[in-house]
Chains A and B, each alone.
Chain A
Amino acid sequence: MNQHRTVPPIATLLVALAFAPDALAHLQRSDAAGFLSGFLHPISGFDHVLAMVAVGLWGAQLGAPALWVLPVAFPLVMAIGGFLGFVGVHLPGVEIGIAASAVLLGAAVLFAWRPPLATAALLVGALAIFHGHAHSTELPNGEDALLYSMGFVIATGCLHALGIAIGTVRRWRWGNGLLRALGLGIAAGGAFCMWQAVA
């Protein structure tokens, strides 16, 4: 009588899976999704939008060179905040800091505050750290790192540009009043976010 002992198919499958080598092929499918995911991240947060538009509005109110120094300082320092988040440096009160950035920047636009350029850049930079830290800690796994990063840096820049574009209303007599009203709205929105963050 032929008594072969056969290996169960499930065991064969498990052995084959256990020794499967890496497939090193590039994965191209998720690249666009990674960019879009990063691009939508700042736009989908009310508190982020308020603060980033306020940077553009304030820059437009202050005029050159703050007009472009502030939108350069914000993404650069935001990236430092993101770097700190990635490497595991804990930053307390991130949500409160983000809400405070909307309140302070809105107030700066409301009162048409004109500090020296270095002070304005330092303030914007200090507040940007909270935004960058939040982005990095809320990052979804499996995205293309560079495209995700580019997406949210570009979205941030676009929000600044939106603020600058709105700020062009200064050329009309009623424009300054409108800007200050927008500053009030941003500060109020920031206060609402602050209330939500604390509650």
Chain B
Amino acid sequence: MKNAGRWMMIVAVAPSVAEAHLTSSGLGPFYDGLLHLMTSPEDLAAAIALALLCGLRGADHGRRAFFVVPLAWLLGSFVGLVALTPQGNDIVSASWLLLLGALIAFDAKLPLAATTALGALLGLMHGYSNGSGMKLTLAVVLALIGLATAVATMTALPAAVGVRFGGGSTRIALRVAGSWIAASGLLLLGWSIRSP
């Protein structure tokens, strides 16, 4: 009995590596994936920033982003499954926010190919980070599909706002929002460099 108590204590104080990467929604893995984007500010802010940038450039850019970003995100997350440990990097996330926020704030006149390339790269990199550290199971596949669905939604809505209301004072308001995203990215970059 004495030994049993000893072993119970060892088990209690020695946690195994908890690779929980998804917040449980209680509704199953698909919704866990949906919820993941909403509880990951680095991912959510980057997706919204890219969508706003595309929305400000016009409907063509918004439509392209709606398809490219979630698909690249899904592809990246499946590639990330081969990584055995989580690969998140705050410096990369901060750099994305700084870049996209600055492009919005300065109302950069990017061609369609450039916004498409940015969307694909963003999706691949953030997707890879999301998929890394997970094991390939049916539940994880469903969660990643849920995640890509959330990305599609959070790309479509801000892009639609940019396309529909992207003129006059609303355009200025969106550019101000871009400056806030860039400022937040720069601060996160400083924070990340301070505490690697």
Binding site for B on A (CB under 8 A): 9, 12-13, 16-17, 19-26, 28, 31, 68, 71-72, 75-76, 78-80, 82-88, 132, 136, 139, 144-147, 149-150, 153-154, 157
Contact = CB atoms under 8 A, between A and B. Distances in A.
B192 A72 contact: no
Contacts of B94: 146
Given A72-B176, A149-B184, A9 B9 contact: yes
What class of interface size applies to chain B in its complex with A? 35 or more
A154 B45 CA distance: 13
A149 B21 contact: no
A72 B194 contact: no
A22 to B, nearest CB: 7
B190 A20 contact: no
A108 to B, nearest CB: 21
A20 B15 contact: yes
Contacts of A24: 17-20, 86, 133
Interface residues of B, dominant DSSP = helix
Given A20-B15, A157-B180, A149 B9 contact: no
Given A9-B9, A87-B193, A146 B15 contact: no
B187 A136 contact: yes
A177 B96 CA distance: 45
A153 B182 CA distance: 10
- Name which of A23, A71, A76 has the most chain B CB atoms within 10 A of its CB: A76
A85 B39 CA distance: 28
A17 B15 CA distance: 9
Given A9-B6, A146-B93, A72 B41 contact: no
B184 A150 contact: yes
B175 interface: yes
Contact of A150 (B6, B19, B45, B189): B45
B172 interface: yes
A136 B180 contact: no
User: Which 10 pairs, one residue from A and one from B, show the smallest C-beta to C-beta distance?
Assistant: A86-B190, A79-B183, A149-B187, A83-B190, A79-B186, A25-B20, A145-B191, A25-B18, A75-B183, A72-B179
A83 B15 contact: no
Given A31-B41, A146-B41, A146-B42, A23 B188 contact: no
A154 B177 CA distance: 9
A76 B105 contact: yes
Contact of B190 (A16, A23, A82): A82
Contacts of A83: 186-187, 189-190
Interface string B159-196: 00000000000001001100110111011111111100
Contacts of B189: 83
B138 interface: no
Given A68-B175, A72-B179, 8 more contacts: A12-B9, A17-B13, A20-B14, A24-B19, A31-B41, A84-B190, A145-B90, A145-B192
Contact of A154 (B93, B180, B182, B186): B180
Nearest to A86: B190
A86 B105 contact: no
